[in-house]
Amino acid sequence: MRRLNRKKTLNLMKELDAFPKVPESYVETSVSGGTVSLIAFTTIAFLTVMEFTVYRDTWMKYEYEVDKDFTSKLRINIDITVAMRCQYVGADVLDLAETMVASADGLIYEPVVFDLSPQQKEWQRMLQLIQSRLQEEHSLQDVIFKSAFKSASTALPPRAIPHPRGHAHLAALVSHESYNFSHRIDHLSFGELIPGIINPLDGTEKIASDHNQMFQYFITIVPTKLHTYKISAETHQFSVTERERVINHAAGSHGVSGIFMKYDISSLMVTVTEEHMPFWQFLVRLCGIIGGIFSTTGILHGFGRFVAEVIFCRFRLGSYGSTSVSLPDGHTSNHLPRTTDNSTH
């Protein structure tokens, strides 16, 4: 009884088989079918490799929200070289009301030569080239985010100084003839230091054409949370607008000579997250590629064979000439005579 039930179950499962097997004796192969199969397998292999490349790649997802943090202080990291003697250079932090918030006593002055060595010039040239490409191709910023990492060996030299939120500028009360505000910004960033991140003003160099010249940088800071597979940090991106002019009171150009960095913090916060294609999505896309190519090539091959058979069939029919048959009454017929088997009579 159990064997009978088992046999019925197997027969039922065979009837539900959606993939019936065709005996090999009923399968006809052809050169055209083999050619189409070879093209299909080659296309599948190529698209599979491309899809695997896409699966291994990652992309950056940007999310925006209102910044609700009103208590934390902003850290400023600055490394700037000014073409003046150290004793003539000073710095302080002012708020919007031009009231001093804090002095820059923590600023470390290092006597250096303003002109760069050949190796340093090459570094600056490459950095400026990257900056110009970043302005043209914004997608390169994603590559920079992915390459960011924490490492003590690539950290900023100890010339970086922390400042609370405010308006920072460099100036000195010295004789105007001693002014030379030609400067080079080797690094300027806000928030946590992240080696590998290139900021908009890194590598900027300005040469003053006059002793009384003002350089202004208007900066808009955007709080940013960065989450990649290599790093997770809270930092700040910023955009900058530059302006420079010569101070000449007689010509109506008023102001104070110096280097001014005026910044404002955006009310929006950006969360940048590195994402990766799930494995199940990769499998679904791969199955779609394989099934789609097999179905498409099968349809195209079948349609091609149908067209070829129709054309060759008409060609064969047109190659036969008409045959005339004489009738006993003297008439002719273009139809072929009917042949009979005399053995059946």
- Per-residue HEC secondary structure of 26-84 comes to HCCCCHHHHHHHHHHHHHHHHHHHHHHHHHHCEEEEEEEEECCCCCCCCCEEEEEEECC
Output the pLDDT for position 343. Answer: 47
Contact 161, 108 (CB under 8 A): yes
Output the pLDDT for position 280. Answer: 92
Name which residue leads in pLDDT, 288 or 211: 288
- Three-class DSSP category at 187: strand
Contact 170, 75 (CB under 8 A): no
Q: Which residue has the tokens 């045959």?
A: 323
- Report helix angle 140-147 to 118-136, nearest 10: 130
| 186 backbone dihedrals φ, ψ, rounded to 5° | -75, -30
Residue 278 CB-density burial (10 A; 0-12 exposed, 13-18 middle, 19+ buried):
exposed
Per the structure block, which two tokens stand in for 49? 């490799």
Q: Which residues pair with 90 in a beta bridge?
A: 171
Q: Does the reported pTM lie above 0.85?
A: no
Contact 183, 82 (CB under 8 A): yes
How far is 299 from 279, CA to CA, in rounded Å? 30
Q: Kindly state the percentage of the chain with pLDDT values over 90.
A: 7
Across residues 90-99, what is the average pLDDT? Answer: 70
Contact 187, 200 (CB under 8 A): no
Output the pLDDT for position 4. Answer: 65
| 143 backbone dihedrals φ, ψ, rounded to 5° | -65, -40
- For the chain, where are the alpha helices, taking DSSP H only? 2-15, 31-56, 118-136, 140-147, 279-319
> Which of the residue ranges 61-75, 155-169, 205-219 would you say has the lowest mean pLDDT?
155-169
CB atoms within 10 A of CB 78: 23
pLDDT greater than 90 at residue 194: no
Closest CA to 194 of 164, 140, 229, 151: 151
Output the pLDDT for position 330. Answer: 54
User: What is the chain's mean pLDDT, rounded?
Assistant: 75
Contact 260, 253 (CB under 8 A): no
pLDDT tens column, 292-311: 988 888 888 888 888 877 78
Output the pLDDT for position 215. Answer: 92
> Which of the residue ranges 195-199, 273-277, 284-288 would you say has the lowest mean pLDDT?
195-199
> Which of the residue ranges 109-113, 236-240, 283-287 would you say has the lowest mean pLDDT?
109-113
